[in-house]
Chain A
Amino acid sequence: DSGVTQTPKHLITATGQRVTLRCSPRSGDLSVYWYQQSLDQGLQFLIQYYNGEERAKGNILERFSAQQFPDLHSELNLSSLELGDSALYFCASSPTVRTDSPLHFGNGTRLTVT
């Protein structure tokens, strides 16, 4: 058990809808990362937060947004969903702002858009 908790485990929704994925980092970790994993693209970095502030941005669509709250949990919001957004979304955490320690991953949220 990595100590990173993601909810829900599974999510099925229709095109055009909006969903929120939730992540609680390991105790003591200040950085949270979001990744999208699809069969053909592998693990794609979306965004990183450190202690409530956005730290780095990857290939995150404008329809997606995220935030990290004072208690350090993070939410990833996906709106105007399309079929292609179906994927496994992982949250990972690490202790510091610098990427000098391994990431610890949650078990992911599997999103299916129909």
Chain B
Amino acid sequence: EDKVVQSPLSLVVHEGDTVTLNCSYEVTNFRSLLWYKQEKKAPTFLFMLTSSGIEKKSGRLSSILDKKELSSILNITATQTGDSAIYLCAVDRDDKIIFGKGTRLHILP
């Protein structure tokens, strides 16, 4: 059965810290891995990683795909309180997108 597993499930750090969120997957027909940020309502898209684009960066956020280890990490440096959210990892297996349960990140001021 296809699965996407995220760790840790929750994380509390202080403002200014660096965090690393993990995502591992076991799916057939892998096409891409996506990261989303969910604050109060709709998940919003952060990154898409594919075989041809295994590393992405935007400001303080960056992500790497390891196709050999079937995993990805999302790094956030110099965290701010506005980074508090649920971070969702999803894997596109061609006919559908499967989400992990998410990592709930809380940044203390």
Q: Is the CB of B45 within 8 A of A41?
A: no
In chain A, positions 54-103 with a C-beta closer than 8 Å to chain B are: 55-56, 58, 90, 98-100, 102-103
Cα of A74 to Cα of B55 in the assembled complex, Å: 35
By a CB distance below 8 angstroms, the chain B residues around A58 are 96
Interface size class of chain B, counting residues whose CB lies under 8 Å from the partner chain? 20 to 34
Cα of A104 to Cα of B97 in the assembled complex, Å: 12
By a CB distance below 8 angstroms, the chain B residues around A108 are 41-42
Interface segment out of the listed B13-21, B59-67, B72-80, B99-107: B99-107
Residue of B nearest to A99 (CB): B92
Would you call B88 an interface residue if the criterion is a C-beta within 8 Å of the partner chain's C-beta atoms? yes
In chain B, positions 48-94 with a C-beta closer than 8 Å to chain A are: 48, 88, 90, 92, 94
Known: A99-B31, A99-B92. A105 touches B98 (CB 8 A): no
Known: A48-B96, A55-B95, A56-B95. A102 touches B45 (CB 8 A): yes
Q: Is the CB of A41 within 8 A of B101?
A: yes
| Interface residues of A, count at CB 8 A | 24
Q: Is the CB of B34 within 8 A of A102?
A: yes
Q: Is the CB of B94 within 8 A of A105?
A: no
Would you call A49 an interface residue if the criterion is a C-beta within 8 Å of the partner chain's C-beta atoms? no
Residue of B nearest to A101 (CB): B48
Interface positions of B (Cβ within 8 A of A):
31-32, 34, 41-45, 48, 88, 90, 92, 94-102
Other A-B pairs beyond A100-B32, A107-B42, 17, CB < 8 Å:
A2-B42, A42-B102, A43-B88, A43-B102, A45-B97, A45-B98, A56-B96, A90-B42, A99-B94, A99-B95, A99-B96, A99-B97, A100-B31, A100-B92, A103-B45, A104-B45, A105-B42
Interface positions of A (Cβ within 8 A of B):
2, 4, 33, 35, 41-45, 48, 55-56, 58, 90, 98-100, 102-108
